[in-house]
Chain A
């Protein structure tokens, strides 16, 4: 952050920041801004974070605000929620979202539902964050996408950033939000660099939760995606552009609440829809988007059925060739677009 400030003062209006550093800077700024904010989780302090997302924070803020926990997710997630009850603003890290299953009762029954059950007496200003979805070679128990599971539950906000601007802005928004936010990162995106403009680097820059972003304008077909797959959609769009197909790429940014308005406006313009996600197809994010489009005004503008590109409906295998074929690839997106456009 010192480097950022120096460069900004020196007239550099843009910076290249990878997703990891964007998350790190966001947490640093929010820790500084509000004394009630603190981070807890496994290895977040002295190890600098299992994926180095919290690098340097313990050195700067100390034991009180950056807390290493034992390997007891149910316990420390409950402790985090209780701290939120009593007026603090915890960031609870799950080393990966797979481990959140140990603690899912605390996320849903203690965090998500309490404001409602108490008729507004007890808000729960907590952020749960960590890497979600498939990684590389980590096999079945470490590769699940939880967007659909958490996206199912009222009382939660669920966000899934793609690039550094998303990561920075959404994490700041999540920490400032007075409600429980499930923050789904992606390990394979941590090291990916993006340009951040001067505006984005401001301390009060937030990305509003619940608003999707159109990353690429197009006229022939709408691609709706979240997290890492947004990048694949943009790559597919570049390839398709050479064949004269202009894709509109919508980056959801937020899973819940879903920005149906942006999706519908796009579909009403293009008449065609393909959703793209890393998670499993059944009862998934894409399924929800298609159902909403069916039930709303955009249906009448569809020239073809909406379809979903998803992870393959299997537990994630280990061998590289199998793993590569378990997740949506750019060629799958291109193939689906052409099918929907009847090319």
Chain B
């Protein structure tokens, strides 16, 4: 669908400029990856086609604008509760998806809006979930941290719990013999959780097809990596598990590393661990201004030197893979998509009260649910 829309935007501009004017594909040098228990790593160059570039650009821009819109709606109190924004980290979600397919599986923690999109969700249903409406991807029952799509298991609120869950999905892949794998994400804060080490152990023992990915954005809430971790070399924390440390701001780096990791898993070698060095522009959540534990200068420096969208844009423009007008048109289309989604998210009605007791059990007979008083008898439906 993204490809369809991108193709559409591109062809609008291409009609005024011959298609042959653009470079169809180019090869870029990418940063060398730090290796742990690996003789070789991903390649030092990455080839990008024009289509891929436009697709990645559009998806990253969509995530960026969607998160910024969520920020706005939160400040207007239209979104409430928890809201953990992903702006700055777009290259991770988009790069990872570039290295796997939609028949592979993915699970992450609560900073999940970007992944919900790359895993097949629409901006409309994501935003309507944030505003708690019936058109939300979880019908308003889950909220920011509990969004699901096919082969995407959320959105998980308990730090670290998603990692063993991901290994369970990987176990199912191996059990069913379907050559699929599971990407299991966690942050630098979660990286110290005991259950993650339990999962490293079992995944390795049983050679599960799992890619552990630590999105290291330098801060676990307000605690910097130096203050939380005796070892900040997260790619080595898997000990006996081979690891890679990757520039998470470069979508091509992330993609090539993911492809490398996926090959490793699919060849039956068992788990592999990737640390993506990335950065979040927002605070931990909407209730955190994000400047009490880091400086505005630091944030500004990352924005100006390492922004993932700018990096891709510069690469494409300087290699004549797209025109400025074309990218501007994509920006306009994205802005419109976000506006329409926000409009939907603010006008769609809230879920009906009947939904209070629905979806407690799957495939079950309706049963009585105790309400707030003994006289309030509600009925549950599957």
The proximity string for B residues 152-178 relative to A, scoring 1 for CB distances below 8 Å and 0 otherwise, is 011011100101111111111101100
How many residues does chain B have at the interface if contact means C-beta atoms less than 8 Å apart?
49
Complexed CA–CA distance, A64 and B208 (Å) = 12
Please choose the segment from A18-26, A108-116, A311-319 that sits at the chain B interface, where 4 or more of its residues have CB less than 8 A away.
A108-116
- Across the interface, name the chain A residue whose C-beta is closest to B171: A83
CB-contacts of A67-91 with B (<8 A): 67, 69-70, 72, 74-88, 90
Q: Is A123's beta carbon under 8 Å from chain B? A: yes
Q: Is B24's beta carbon under 8 Å from chain A? A: no
From residue B2, how far is it (CB to closest CB) to chain A in Å? 22
Q: Is B288's beta carbon under 8 Å from chain A? A: no
Complexed CA–CA distance, A125 and B168 (Å) = 13
Partner of A179, one of B105, B198, B364: B364
B360 touches A115 (CB 8 A): yes
Q: Which residues of B contact A83 (CB under 8 A)?
A: 168-169, 171-172, 175
Assess A117 versus B194: contact at CB under 8 Å? Given A78-B164, A83-B175, A109-B161: no
Q: Is B78's beta carbon under 8 Å from chain A? A: no
Q: Which residues of A contact B170 (CB under 8 A)?
A: 82
Complexed CA–CA distance, A119 and B359 (Å) = 6
Complexed CA–CA distance, A69 and B140 (Å) = 37
Please choose the segment from B10-18, B199-207, B273-281 that sits at the chain A interface, where 4 or more of its residues have CB less than 8 A away.
B199-207
Complexed CA–CA distance, A210 and B261 (Å) = 47
Q: Which residues of A contact B186 (CB under 8 A)?
A: none
Q: Which residues of A contact B173 (CB under 8 A)?
A: 86
Q: Is A190's beta carbon under 8 Å from chain B? A: no
Q: Is A106's beta carbon under 8 Å from chain B? A: yes
- Across the interface, name the chain A residue whose C-beta is closest to B107: A82
B158 touches A79 (CB 8 A): no
CB-contacts of A233-263 with B (<8 A): 257
Q: Which residues of A contact B369 (CB under 8 A)?
A: 154
Complexed CA–CA distance, A257 and B368 (Å) = 10
Interface centre among A67, A88, A105, A118 (most CB of B within 10 A): A118
Q: Which residues of A contact B138 (CB under 8 A)?
A: 117-119, 121
B168 touches A84 (CB 8 A): yes
Partner of B161, one of A78, A116, A119: A78
Partner of B142, one of A88, A105, A106, A118: A118
B171 touches A79 (CB 8 A): yes
Assess A154 versus B360: contact at CB under 8 Å? Given A75-B201, A85-B165, A110-B161: yes
A81 touches B359 (CB 8 A): no
B362 touches A75 (CB 8 A): no
The proximity string for A residues 284-323 relative to B, scoring 1 for CB distances below 8 Å and 0 otherwise, is 0000000000011000000000000000000000000000
Complexed CA–CA distance, A116 and B154 (Å) = 13
Q: Is B141's beta carbon under 8 Å from chain A? A: yes
Q: Is B382's beta carbon under 8 Å from chain A? A: yes
Q: Which residues of A contact B171 (CB under 8 A)?
A: 79, 82-83, 86, 88
Assess A79 versus B367: contact at CB under 8 Å? Given A116-B360, A117-B138, A123-B362: no
B198 touches A70 (CB 8 A): yes
B359 touches A82 (CB 8 A): no
Complexed CA–CA distance, A67 and B154 (Å) = 27
A82 touches B202 (CB 8 A): no
Partner of A82, one of B168, B176, B201: B168
Q: Which residues of B contact A125 (CB under 8 A)?
A: 362
Complexed CA–CA distance, A74 and B364 (Å) = 28
Q: Which residues of B contact A118 (CB under 8 A)?
A: 138, 141-142, 146, 148, 154, 359
Q: Is A11's beta carbon under 8 Å from chain B? A: no
Q: Is A146's beta carbon under 8 Å from chain B? A: no
A74 touches B367 (CB 8 A): no
Assess A75 versus B165: contact at CB under 8 Å? Given A119-B138, A257-B367: no
Q: Which residues of B contact A74 (CB under 8 A)?
A: 164, 194-195, 198
Interface centre among A77, A78, A123, A257 (most CB of B within 10 A): A78
Known: A110-B156, A115-B362. 14 other contacts (CB 8 A): A79-B202, A82-B169, A86-B172, A105-B158, A116-B141, A117-B138, A117-B154, A118-B138, A118-B142, A118-B148, A119-B140, A121-B148, A155-B360, A178-B361
The interface of chain B, by Cβ under 8 A from chain A, is: 105, 107, 138-142, 146, 148, 153-154, 156-158, 161, 163-173, 175-176, 182, 194-195, 198-199, 201-202, 205-206, 355, 358-364, 367, 369, 374, 382
